[in-house]
Structures are given as structure tokens and as C-alpha cells.
Amino acid sequence: KGQQRILLVMATGTGKTLAYAIPIVQALKSEEDKQGSVGALPNRPRVIVIAPSKELVVQIYDVFNELAHEVKLKIEKIERASNWQRKINYLNEGVDVLVTNPDKLNRLLKENRILLSSVDYFIIDEADALLESGEEKLLLSLSKQLFYEKRENDLKHAQIIFVSATLTNKLKIFLEITFAGLTKMLVTSESHINLSHIKHFFVSVGEKNRLEILETELKRLPQKNYKIIFCNTVASVRAVDYYLKS
């Protein structure tokens, strides 16, 4: 409360979504009660949440939808291009909370399908991953529009919440450049904890072929054990899958 820019850093699985969704839903409902149930305006969401993956968009949507059911707020998600017109129709009718990913949000803005004038909360979930995936330009543009530029009939600025499981140097630099030390950081003690039963090894690959190095490292591990390979993009998942199968 009273903070316009917040960085929330919590370990994965500790309830980051609920940490911002509950107070936002409560604030939206309180505002409606004070103003006589204003509700969402056409094409003007009151909350925008962006996340890097379709799966996370759906997960965040489900959390908001469950919370908002009792207070009758309109929640919508746009995580894929299919049924685009139907989604636009929902926006035309007015939604309180829009959950989407950066490319879909960018398309909505370019096509003038939504306006930012009524946005009270802008949440950037997995901000570290979004910056690493090259969305810095879009995040910078949106942050400046919502914080630095005057809004229609209202000088209040949107509250911007950055959510991350890790506090990376890239994220810290982004916040320092964008808001010049004006961000309140909430970092839990569980962040950056290495589990005692898991061994960590780091391999510097430089310009070498990462897939060949991955194959070499996998062969060194006991063959009877299961392995899980995490990739940061869908394209990487497909490349690793194709390489290892071939």
C-alpha cells in the first residue's frame, strides 16, 4: 500500500501469485464499493498481468478467476492467437483483469484493442525470465507509459509490480535505469536457497556447441537414473529433443 513500484522476489512454489492477486482483488472490490460498482469499461482493463509462457498465463488466470468468483470481477486470458476475435469481443464488453503474454499484449496495443488509461495495476510475472528472453524494450515502454505519462482525466499512476524467483543483475539494472532507485524491494529469505540434497555444477560453454556439451555431460551421469532437462524457450526444447533423438 502506498508503493507505486514493487519488486517481489520469492522462491518458486511459495505463493507469489497469491501474494499479489489477493490484495489486488480486494482493492478492486473496495474501489467498486466506494464508487458504487463502477466495473470494467470497454477495452480498458483495470489490471494487466503478463507472463512469459502460455502455461503460466493459464495458471495465473486460474488463481484470479477463483478469487474473483465471489466478488464478480471479470477475468480474461489471452495466451494464444486462436479464437482471437472472441477474445476481442470480451475486451469490448469490458474486463477487470487481463492475463496475457508480451507478444499478445503488444499486438493488442498495436491494433488499438485496449487502452492503458484505466490500468491501476501492471504485474510483470517472472520478470527475470522476460528480460532474459529479450522483452526489455516492451517492458521499458509499458513501464514508462504507465508511470511517467499522464493518464486521461487522472494524474494517478499505475502500480507496477515485478515478480521474480531470482534477483538477477539484469533485473536490478533494469529497475535502476527505469525508476532510478524508486522501487521497493521485497525479497524473502527463501530466495536463492540451494537444496542440501542437490549437487550443483556449472559448465561454461562460451561459443562452443552447447548440445554436444550437454550430450557429453549426460553420458557422464549414471545411466539408470532419470534426467530432467530444463530449457528457457520452446525453440530450445525442440532443438534439444531433436538432437538427442537423432
Half-sphere exposure of 132 (CA within 13 A, CB side): 15
Q: What is the pLDDT at residue 210?
A: 86
Euclidean distance between CA atoms 56 and 117, whole angstroms: 26
**Cell numbers found for residue 18:** 497469491
The predicted pLDDT at position 76 comes to: 95
Instruction: Pick out the chain residues at pLDDT < 70.
Output: 1-5, 10-13, 36-39, 147-157, 179-196, 207
Q: What is the pLDDT of residue 162?
A: 86
The β-bridge relationship of strands 75-78 and 121-124 is unpaired
Q: Which residues contact 18 (CB under 8 A, 6 or more apart)?
A: 63
pLDDT of residue 188: 61
DSSP codes joined into one string, 53-70 = SHHHHHHHHHHHHHHHTT
Q: What is residue 196's predicted lDDT score, i.e. its pLDDT?
A: 63
pLDDT at residue number 77: 95
pLDDT of residue 181: 59
Q: What pLDDT, on a 0 to 100 scale, did the predictor assign at position 155?
A: 40
Q: What is the pLDDT of residue 128?
A: 86
pTM, whole model, 2 decimals?
0.74
User: What pairing do the DSSP bridges indicate for beta strands 184-187 and 121-124?
Assistant: unpaired
